[in-house]
Every structure is written in structure tokens, then in C-alpha cells.
Amino acid sequence: MRVFLVRIEEQPLTVTEPAPLDLSGVTRPPPRVEAGRSLAMVRAFTRRPVWHPPVPATVPPPPLRASARTTLATVQGYVMFGASPFGAAPFGARRDRLSLAIGDVMLRYGTINYIDRDHREFEDGLRTPSFSRTILTGGMVGGWATASLGDLELDNLEGERSDLLRRVAVDGRPVEVLQPRPDGTTEVVFECTARDIVPGDDDTVRIRLRDWDYLLDKPAQTATYPDDAPPEIANRRRPFGYGPCNNVTPTRIATTVPAYQFNDGPSRALRAVYVAGIPQLPADLASVDLASSTFTLAAEPAGDVTCDFDGLVVDGVYLNTTALVIDDLAFRRGGLPATRKSVRHFERFAADMPGEVQLYVSHGEEPTVLSLIQRLLAPCGWGAFSWRGQLQVGVWKVATGSPRCLLSKAEGTLIGLQPAELPTEVYPPPWRLRGGYDRNWTPQTASQLKGDDTPGAVDPVGGPERRRWLARGQEIAEAKDEVTRDRLHLGAQDPAAVETCLADKIGCETVLQASLAHWLGNRAHYRVVPDTPPFFFDIGDEVAIQWDGHGLEGGQIGVVAEVAEGEWTELVIEV
């Protein structure tokens, strides 16, 4: 153990008596005002006025909320063991009627004991659940929505629901949250699925939930090469691509002949084949089959083989826009039923994002459907499942002027409103946005390319500009407003370039310019509490809000960016 000793020498100080002060000539501070006030001056610059969609003369009010929020839930289950009667509470049926055999069963619970018009009983014991969806993540607005579904908590004070843990399987089965109607019927307002059932805290049993995202959390490609394929690709997933894919490395599918596959399924066109960067002539190709997206070279290549092609054609339709590709990924590859598609959202998304996109997945990659959809949504798209389980996509932009309803303090449909902070990535706003386009799927160095690139020589690769493109992974487009940087927002942001799936410069610049104009448009976020039925609003809904103050006296139309449901509905609305 270390021991430290300290010695301090004491030295007596000579103390001099202070001379008396004459305070009569000392300046006094100014008197305090009646009420303490602080003043501050901040040098600012008046932001440019922006256009807000006018509120229509007639906007429908939201539906009336029931006198009390009653939440009902049904969970499909499967009885795993035995066929003997036991406590009726878990199953919401009469104790003297229930005898459970192995097989399907419907669990019904409510925040109160409730019997609907069809004599279905919802057993009391469900605690008020809370659910939320938001696209305010990572300091940005947009992308794939983050869902927080929590659990269905059931009272188990006396162990009356413990049999659920041992005898009933609920994983993967549908869950419905319902609201009672005045006529005694019930309305499904939210659908999801059960993850599992586990013991909870404070004498509860918890049914853990999951959103419909899991339906898209599966491999985007299920087709694989057979066992007798070349060892490098045996049992690996086949490549596939959408739109104009450039300088892709095709998969060699034979060892005895130089045969290659560049897409799984019919392609629109094979535009070019290269060996070590040099375009091949028609005579250099022994065969091309667009139906199977394969080609064979006439001789063994002396260098890396790449190609340009226009991707998948499904049912005669060339899939080369964001809406078409997401549709194919979600419903054909992901297996979502057509009833899960919000046709209205997809049609509007197609009009807002008409540009051509490119997406390629090689045989060495294994992305999920959801990860590819997230990639396609960049830089300003958003996607989510609605409360009723429909897939919705959109472009985050100013409201179009067609609100779903009016939330008004004067009319009693809006009972709380507070300004909310804008996400950190968009305030202070960016003065410049950059995004990638025209991707090169196989960047190549000078050592991988043949030909003479000395000045004055004939370069079979295509010249300096072509060589520069081959060395890069993606071109960069930008949209900027230097006035914002130099005069309006001296702390304006200059974020890193975003990788997109956009194919051409004009399309990329158009999207970036629209997004930049949006965030330079004096945006504001408000956290509001409407007096409406639960699960009435979804992400992307347009809503007119009217409030005393905050410049909302005359009403403004905003877009819902976040929804939280619990004892009350809470929204974050951007205007």
C-alpha cells in the first residue's frame, strides 16, 4: 500500500489593518425594474416566404371519439397439449362451456369486459397498449418507418393466465386490435402478428407483437444454382437486376465454355459485353439468350468480363422505376398478397418519382427484400405499413392541399399543440445536397484494362473519360443554394453524398433540387393531441390544423410524420 505524507510549513502573515473607504463617491448600480426582465439581441436574416397550400373552404371533421377509449384485442392461438377443461379467463368464454382440445383457438381480451352484438365476449384484463410509427429517425425525415408495437399485457395477479405460457402457441399468428361501435359491433383498427408469449413483470403475461415488416425480412432471391454447377456458384443465389445496369460482372455458369448469366429471368436488352474494358463485337459472341439472360463468348476471355444490360421484364413490363421495382420486390419476390398494397399510395408515388432507377444483386450477395426497398427509397422517399397492414410508399414533400380532415381547437377536435424541434440533419437546413447516380458495378483500375491510353493513341477502351468512369463507383449530382449558405443560415449544413439507385443525372438533380427546396421552405414540426378515435391517422396523411397562436389561427395543412397510440393519440405534423 502506498503511503503519502504531506508537510506544510506555516509562516505567520503580517496583517495590515485596511484603510477606511469613503463610499460616498462610489457609483451605484442602476435600480432594478419592477419586474425582472432580460433582453437579448440576435442578428438574423428574414427567411424567404414560402408557399403553403391553402386550406379548402370545406374540410371534413374527423369522426367523433367514443366517450371512453376501450381497446379490444383478438389473438389466434393453437392449443398444443391435452384436451381437458381449465380456467376460462384466458379465452374469454364462459367457464362452464369451455373444454379445450388440441387445435386453433381465438383469444379475446379487452380493457373492460365487453360482449359485442354477435355475443363474442372479450375478457377484462388487457392493459392499455401503446403503439407508434415514425419516419423521424437518424436526424432525418423519411426512409423506412420505425415501428414500436410493444406488447399486449394481460393481468395475471392470481396466475389465472399462466396456462397460456405452457399450452398455447401464438407465434406468427394474426393479432387484431378493435374498437367497439355504438351499435354493438366492433371495428378492426390495427392488425399485426404475435411474436411469442412470455411471463411479464408485475404479475402479467405478455404477448409480444411484431409489425408486418417481418414479411419483407426475407431473402430477395430464392432461386439458386444446382449442386452440379461450378463449385464457385453451386447452391449460391442467382443474380438479378432492374433497369439499366452498367459494367456488371456476370456469373460464369460453365467451366468448359465461357458461358455467363447476368440476370435471373428475361431481360430487356444486352447492350454491351466487355473483356478487360474493351467492347466486344457481335462476332465475339457465340450466343445471346435474353429469355434466360445468358451469353457465351466465342473464345476464352483474356481479362475480366463485364456487361451492360437493361434488366427484368415481368409480364411484358420493363421494371425500371422506383414504384415498379418496389412493387415487384414486395409482392412477387416478397410474397405479399395483393390486398396488402395501398394502390392509392403507389399511384401517387409513381407520379412523384418518375425517373429511371438501376438495381443489381450479384450471386455473392444475400440482401433481404426490405433492405433493397430501403435502398430504393433514398434520398427522399418513405415507406411504412399502415395500421391495417397495407404497404404504403411516398415522397416526403409539402402537403398537396387535400387534407383528410380538420383538427381545430375551436371545434374541440384538437386539444393540445406544441412546437417540436426539427430533426438535426435538416435544421439548420442544408445549403447543398449531393447524391450518386449512374452506378458502375465493377470499378476497374488501369491494370485491369487493356489498350493504349497515351495521348494521341487510339484507345480501344474508349478514351480518358471512359477510363475515369470505369475507375469510379458512382457519379455524383448536386443541388445547391449558396444564398442560404452566405446570407440566410450561416450554419447551413453540407451533408455527405447519399447513395441512390437513380440512373441518370437529370433525374437525380431533379429529386435533389426538390428535396433541397423543401427543407429551405421554412418547415416547422408540431406535436399535437387530437380528440379522435384511435388508429385513425397513418404516416403520410395530410391534415389541416387550426390553433390559437403559432401562426395557425387561419389553419395550415401539414403531413403526419409520426403517430403514437396509447391513452391518447399523439401526432407529429410537418407544415
| pLDDT digit string, tens, across residues 100-120 | 344 567 888 888 888 888 888
Check pLDDT > 50 for residue 133.
yes
3-state secondary structure of 198: strand
Taking residues 238-255, report their average pLDDT. 96
What element of type H or E holds 558? Answer: strand 556-565
Q: Is 268 helix (H, G, I), strand (E, B) or coil?
A: strand
Q: Cα dist. 25→17, 32, 502, 565 in Å?
A: 22, 21, 77, 68
How much is the average pLDDT of 287-312? 96
Per DSSP, what are the bridge partners of residue 209?
194
Q: How is residue 174 written as a grid cell?
A: 394474426
Which one is predicted more confidently, 46 or 215? 215
Please give the model's pTM, rounded to 2 decimal places.
0.84
With a cut of 50, say whether residue 6 has pLDDT above it: no
With the C-alpha atoms ordered 486, 487, 488, 489, is the resulting torsion angle positive or negative?
positive
Q: State residue 104's pLDDT score.
A: 67
Give the separation between CA 536 and CA 575, rounded to whole angstroms.
Answer: 19
Strand order in the sheet with 259-261: 251-252, 259-261, 294-297, 285-289
Q: Is the pLDDT of residue 309 over 70?
A: yes
Confidence of residue 271 (pLDDT cuts 50, 70, 90): very high
Quote the CA–CA distance of 249 and 261 in Å, as a whole number.
9
Domain boundaries, the chain: 1-12+66-80+96-129+147-210, 398-422+523-574
* Residue-level pLDDT at 39: 34
Q: What is the predicted pLDDT for the residue at 498?
A: 93
pLDDT confidence bin for 89, thresholds 50/70/90: very low
Q: pLDDT tens digit string along 435-463?
A: 999 999 999 999 999 877 666 678 899 89
